[in-house]
Structure 1
Amino acid sequence: MIPIILDMDPGIDDAVALSIALSNPSIDIKLLTSVAGNVSVDKTTNNLLKLTTFFHQTQIPVAKGASAPLKKDFSDAAYIHGESGMPGYDFPQVTKEAIKLDAVTAMAEELEAAIVPMTIVATGSYTNIAMLIQKYPSLLHKIEKFVLMGGSLSGGNVSSVAEFNVFTDPDAADIVFKSGVPIVMIGLDVTLKALLPFETIDAIGSQGEAGEMLQKVMTAYGDTAEGGKPMHDVNTICYLLNPEFYTVKDYWIDIIVSGPAAGATIADTQNRWSEGRLNAQVAVDIDTTAFEKWFVEQVPKMNQYRKEGN
């Protein structure tokens, strides 16, 4: 099993990614942490609790994280994800609360107790992770790698150059990319290719309660491309389980933290300033057929998992 801390801002594509992770026996979620991003941190925390309740995984601790970026003003993406962040489905009543520890302290305690280095997967802004790096630098050796949904080498989705997660807190992203911890960057270069066709989303709706839930929340998702919907955050979980689906290249990535290009992730593709240094493996292509097939195969697994009452 792959032990992970999952830092999220659900958000519809976060919800779909978490649904897969919660019901996959190869992934061991040690801690779920929330962050402000797609909607406020109160709502993202509640959405994590909704999903752990839905999948009978209330034993996984949920810790509330940062309510705003490190320096800039917070602006959500409710225009894409809806007012609640997970509209379209009537979830069961939440049966647990977030733990008393804040996300950063909870992460630190989990890392300190870890016997083997852990992977931290982030599908929202990187505010919590940056605070962890700043406050607990002695624990960085306990992190095997960061798997980050965010960034782009080919253009942005909130500006001409910036992807939403990095744009939300570019100062945090800058800290993370300079941390020295190995990074896998799963950005728009692949997530905009990993579309789920509309007919596939419709078909999922008839595949049990999990399929119905996924179909309804994905249908409510405001991020639509020609031919389907990009499930950006799902790619982090897919990469963990199927790295062979992805083509990655090693780059030095710099983060632009201010000005009209704030949130841009700049790769030194010509080795002009990085002097041969590398700080990230960047996903640049994906086997889209394999991705769609893999995704569809997860739905019956979710239903079986819920049926068995895990």
Structure 2
Amino acid sequence: MNKKSVIISTDPGIDDAVAIALALFSEQLDVKLICPIFGNVSLENTKANTEKLLTLYGKAPRVVLGSRRPLLRKSINASEVHGKTGMDGYSFPEPTISTEQSLTAVAAMHEVVNQTEGKTTLIGIGPLTDIALFIHLYPQDLEKIEQIVVMGGSLGRGNYGVLSEFNFAADPEAAKMVFDSGLAIQVAPMEVGRQAKVMPEVSEKIKELGKIGDMFYQLFSKYRGGSFATGLSMYDALAIGLVLNPEMFEIVNTRVEIETTGALTAGASLIDLKGYLKLPANAEVAISVDPKQFEKWFVESIAKTL
């Protein structure tokens, strides 16, 4: 079976840790490059967390350091959700993986895309700064991109601003550049992540799935993306789910516009489900996920880490 080549831009973050594992242990994906970026916590922490995770996973894809800040704005973070370091709650082994810093993540993306036979999928589960820069700096590479798969945006209200979801609020201009690129895009918005909950009984199953399952269980106990007792939202895992198991989603083809000029609404995603904007579709948007199918896929995928 030919594996799908992917590049992951990520800001781990507890749900990023899960998404990275789902991708690395999938028989369907070849993770060519991981680029830690600012976001949930500082770049120093997302770099360190990526190195810790890959060491624990026993995987060694190429890792190149991403952007430290947004294109135009001041950085924000989500340490109140993920903890100060982004990986509080588990004692990781000393990292044996090192992150390249002699070139930019964007230059590394260019190298990988051109060295890869066939097309590459870009997966963005943090701010979209590096993917936007890649689109801007290497337009000649875009014909080699199969699609961009994103966790971000919201169908309605936000979780950072009144109308803005965190990943898009972290760099609205970058998100706009991505959606204006003309590339094939799939999106899992915030509300779908809230449907894809890991319930307490599922956490208990995961705890028994070896050292990686136990690590997730320990991190879940510190994660504030929901409640350990009433269910945790697995936002970033949905991007991997869109690539590997799209059948569990209801997906619509529609227009997504990103607000960049609003004084109070920067980063808001206008997902035009009713055609108000009278603009052609530019993205496939997941509007729901089957919770039972997600749970089955999620547990089975983590079991592959054994």
- Name the TM-score class by shorter chain: over 0.9
Alignment match, 1:85: 86
Alignment match, 1:308: none
Alignment match, 2:273: 269
Post-superposition offset of 1:189: 2.9
Alignment match, 2:130: 128
Q: Does 1:183 align with 2:185?
A: yes
Alignment match, 1:75: 76
Does the Cα contact within 8 Å between 1:17 and 1:237 map onto a contact in 2? yes
Task: Output the CA distance in 1 between the equivalents of 2:214 and 2:272.
Answer: 44
Task: Output the CA distance in 1 between the equivalents of 2:247 and 2:278.
Answer: 28
TM-score, with length taken from structure 2: 0.95
Unaligned ranges ≥5, structure 2: none
Alignment match, 1:306: none
Task: Output the CA distance in 1 between the equivalents of 2:114 and 2:178.
Answer: 19
Post-superposition offset of 1:270: 3.6
Q: Deviations over 1:119-153 (max 9, x none)?
A: 00010000001111111111111111000000111
Does the Cα contact within 8 Å between 2:52 and 2:97 map onto a contact in 1? no
Alignment match, 1:165: 167
Q: Does 1:199 align with 2:201?
A: yes
1:233 to 236, 239, 244: 236
CA separation of 1:101 and 1:272: change in aligned 2, threshold 3 A = same
In structure 1, give the amino acid aligned to 2:153.
Answer: G
Q: Deviations over 1:52-94 (max 9, x none)?
A: 1111112x11010100001110011111111111111111111
Unaligned ranges ≥5, structure 1: 304-310
Alignment match, 2:66: 65
SS at match of 2:195: coil
Moved over 6 A (4+): none
Alignment match, 1:284: 287
In structure 1, give the amino acid aligned to 2:289.
Answer: I
Q: Deviations over 1:155-185 (max 9, x none)?
A: 2111221111001100100000000111001
Task: Output the CA distance in 2 between the equivalents of 1:46 and 1:274.
Answer: 45
Task: Output the CA distance in 1 between the equivalents of 2:274 and 2:218.
Answer: 45
Task: Output the CA distance in 2 between the equivalents of 1:160 and 1:249.
Answer: 24
Does the Cα contact within 8 Å between 1:201 and 1:219 map onto a contact in 2? no
The 5 Å alignment of 1:43-62 reads: 43-58=45-60, 60-62=61-63
CA separation of 1:208 and 1:155: change in aligned 2, threshold 3 A = same
SS at match of 1:302: coil
Does the Cα contact within 8 Å between 1:126 and 1:165 map onto a contact in 2? yes
The 5 Å alignment of 1:129-168 reads: 129-168=131-170
In structure 1, give the amino acid aligned to 2:107.
Answer: T
Task: Output the CA distance in 2 between the equivalents of 1:129 and 1:211.
Answer: 30
CA separation of 1:294 and 1:268: change in aligned 2, threshold 3 A = closer
Give the number of aligned pairs.
301
TM-score, with length taken from structure 1: 0.94
Does the Cα contact within 8 Å between 2:106 and 2:131 map onto a contact in 1? yes
SS at match of 1:190: helix
Task: Output the CA distance in 2 between the equivalents of 1:22 and 1:244.
Answer: 21
CA separation of 1:269 and 1:207: change in aligned 2, threshold 3 A = closer
RMSD: 1.3
Task: Output the CA distance in 2 between the equivalents of 1:105 and 1:118.
Answer: 15
Task: Output the CA distance in 1 between the equivalents of 2:216 and 2:209.
Answer: 10
Task: Output the CA distance in 2 between the equivalents of 1:189 and 1:216.
Answer: 25
Q: Does 1:242 align with 2:241?
A: no
